[in-house]
Amino acid sequence: MKKKVKIRTWIQLAMFIFVAIIAVNHTLVESGKGIPFLSRASLHAVCPFGGVVSLYNIITDGTFVKKIHESSMVLMYIVFVSSLFLGPLFCGWICPMGTFQEWTGIIGKKIFKQKYNRFIPYSIDKYLRWLRYGILVWILYMTAVTGKLIFQDFDPYYTLFQFWTGEVAISGFIALGLVIILSLFVERPFCKYACPYGAVLGIFNLFRIIPLRRNSDTCIDCKLCDRVCPMNITVSKAGKVRNHQCISCFECTSDDGVCPVPGTMEFRTNSYKASPLGSEKVTK
């Protein structure tokens, strides 16, 4: 079963390396030593969130926010299309910052075992989950007003891939340090509480064409799906998961994740047909 999940790890690893190479090569290009045949693009140029923060400027005066180019818009549209069908696939499979947090979290899992990712009480956590929308609104407003990438100085992703350039503000290092420390206790803390792009893509969960569905007729209530969910979503109580925090990681599914009952937890367009046996459960 683990083998099937591994494809996500490979995709994440490949994207992390790809972005790291782009970032390093851009530094080399600026010093006149770029690697031939590799893109000269900056980190900003390959970030789809740049397209989101540029939307206001493009609509009002037809220009991009400084350091953002057409490539960010293209990537933004692509990610939006994929999210319309499969939700924040970008977060769960592509985003190097999410990958980095997962890797850091491996240490936390080894230290805290079952307690890992269960430190913050639900009564507090449920409010903290809306924080990223506040951050998103602040960024969109400030970027529109200033025409500058206002989040750059606080962005742990930018810091992670530019820390050697001397262009990273101290606040960026603090943000990255916090994310690393928190990742030892909480899975994907930046995604859950602070990522503005995750906030945008999370909205697609509310109307995505292919949602995560649970077949309550065959579900054995083992709660493995709840335990494995990096975003702490209570999957075992949902018929159709519309939670704005789902990252489409497939960790809870029957085919590729931990669900032990085939055909019980799947990303699918149509609902499960009611079993003729009523609520009779399939035993483990």
Partner 1 sequence: MRIKANVAATVLPVLFIVGIFLSSAVGYWKTESSKNSTKFTTGIFEGEADPADIRGSYSFSDLEKAFDIPVATLAKAFGFSSSENPEGIKLKEFEERYGIIGDFEIGTSSMKLFTALYKGLPYEPEDDTGIPQPAWNILNKEGATEKETLETYSERVVSLEGLEVSTKTAEHTEKSEETIIKGKTLFSDLLNWGLSKEQIDDALGMSMEAPGDSVRDFCSENGIGFSTVKTPLQKLLDNM
Window of 71-79, 110-118, 196-204, 215-223 that interacts with partner 1 by CB under 8 A: 71-79
Instruction: State how far the Cα of 134 lies from the Cα of 112, in Å rounded to an integer.
Output: 31
- Residue (148 or 237) nearer to partner 1, CB: 148
The 3-state secondary structure of 74-118 reads: HHHHHHHHHHHHHCCHHHHHHCHHHHHHHHHHHHHHHHHHHHCCC
Total Cβ atoms within 10 A of residue 60 = 9
Task: Give the interface size with partner 1 as a residue count (CB under 8 A).
Answer: 50
Task: Indicate whether 106 belongs to the interface with partner 1 (CB under 8 A).
Answer: no
Task: Indicate whether 267 belongs to the interface with partner 1 (CB under 8 A).
Answer: yes
- State the first-to-last Cα distance of the chain, in angstroms, to the nearest integer: 16
Task: Indicate whether 264 belongs to the interface with partner 1 (CB under 8 A).
Answer: no
Task: Indicate whether 110 belongs to the interface with partner 1 (CB under 8 A).
Answer: no
Task: Indicate whether 167 belongs to the interface with partner 1 (CB under 8 A).
Answer: yes
Instruction: State how far the Cα of 197 lies from the Cα of 97, in Å rounded to an integer.
Output: 11
- Residue (105 or 257) nearer to partner 1, CB: 257
Instruction: State how far the Cα of 84 lies from the Cα of 205, in Å rounded to an integer.
Output: 8
Task: Indicate whether 268 belongs to the interface with partner 1 (CB under 8 A).
Answer: yes
What is each CA distance from 99 to 183, 236, 242, in whole angstroms?
A: 11, 25, 23
Q: Which of 168, 194, 231, 233 binds partner 1 (CB under 8 A)?
A: 168
Binding site for partner 1 (CB under 8 A): 4-5, 7-8, 10-11, 39-42, 45-46, 61, 63, 66, 69-71, 74-75, 77-79, 81-82, 85-86, 89-90, 93-94, 148, 153, 165-169, 210, 248, 250, 253, 255-257, 266-270
